[in-house]
Amino acid sequence: MRRTLAATAALSLALVVSACGSDSDTDAGASTPATSSAAPTSASPSASESAAASADIVDTAVAAGGFTTLATALEAAGLVETLKGEGPYTVFAPTDEAFTALPDGTLDDLLADPQGALTDVLTYHVVPGKVMAADVATMDGQEVETVNGEKLTIGVDGDTVTLTDTSGGEVTVTQTDIEATNGVIHVIDGVLVPKG
């Protein structure tokens, strides 16, 4: 599973880079879209989040609070060790409230199928590479491929960044650039659901 996810991540990264048409490299050696000085929906991380930059994505999310359901789901799907790996990864992290807003029974159904539907949904929230808020400032209308293999469409309207999933659902990025040792977390107000 871990090798498959890593191979998928590498392939997805190549597709993201070619789709975005960028040759720039990040600190970690992964390519990302052209950057801009604007940082849509950027929020300054709190002192605890800044200190968490010395932790991996999973530990950073747990320390930030508000991601208990996500942490439980990652553990159930066996993805904790993967997201503690080298990366870099960009994770769009739904809050506990976002999971609560799912239709009744949806979360229970996902948790009942950890290696199937749950893994599909969780890997749909991960993009290979470290993509900071400034990277998406000029990406309005562009698609990025997730580790899941499905695409997300980015919407940029002033300081508001949205992600539209292949099911037609739209979520808003509410906080950005929570850095971790192996990538970055952006907080979203909904759960992304792949069509497939």
Tell me the domains of the chain and their CATH numbers: 2-188 (2.30.180.10)
Q: What is the pLDDT of residues 30-81, one digit of tens each?
A: 333 333 333 333 343 443 444 446 899 999 999 998 999 999 999 999 999 9
Q: Could you give the C-alpha distances from 30 to 39, 125, 132, 193, in angstroms and in order? A: 20, 18, 12, 26
The first and second tokens of residue 22, run together, are 């960028």
- What's the Cα-to-Cα distance from 67 to each of 51, 61, 94, rounded to whole Å? 17, 6, 7
Highest mean pLDDT among 12-21, 39-48, 147-156: 147-156
pLDDT higher than threshold 80 for residue 126: yes
Q: Which residues pair with 175 in a beta bridge?
A: 187
Evaluate if pTM is beyond 0.85. no
